[in-house]
Amino acid sequence: MKRFADPAVAAVFGAYPANLRRQLMTLRELVFQTAARTKGVGALSEALKWGQPSYLTTETGSGTTVRIDCLRKGDGYAIYFHCQSGLVGQFMELYPDTFRYEGKRAIVFDARDKVPVKALRHCIGLALTHHLRK
């Protein structure tokens, strides 16, 4: 598990309900692993944007920011993408029945969902390389 460099981010994770904290920590790890495995991405920086843990390709500028957080209502969580990037539309075309989507900005999960890791890794990789394809 990657250590937190920013104590403010660590505090946000510490405040999540335990069942969702595990899910979000797993999602966080998947984002870092995907970045490490994806050519052209480089090291990610982790910070809070809009109060949410956010992952930025500051080293290379290869992609758009990816954010993760609990849902405001219910027992779920999400991974968020820039709503004007068109990424969620691409994900819907690639994986119409694999994920639940929230408009043009998020893939959402229930706390009990089995996450389709391979498909989600592909989506994260597309976000982290978004600017390389423009």
CATH code of the domain occupying 7-132: 3.90.1150.200
Helix (H) and strand (E) counts in the chain: 4, 6
- Cα 118 from chain centroid (whole Å): 14
Phi, psi of 99 (to 5 degrees): -125, 165
pLDDT digits (tens, 9 = 90+) for 24-71: 999 999 999 999 999 999 999 999 999 999 999 999 999 999 999 999
Q: Give the contacts of 15 (CB within 8 A, at least 6 positions apart).
A: none
pTM of model > 0.85? yes
Asked if 42 contacts 60 with a C-beta cutoff of 8 angstroms, the reply is yes
pLDDT digits (tens, 9 = 90+) for 77-101: 999 999 889 999 999 999 999 999 9
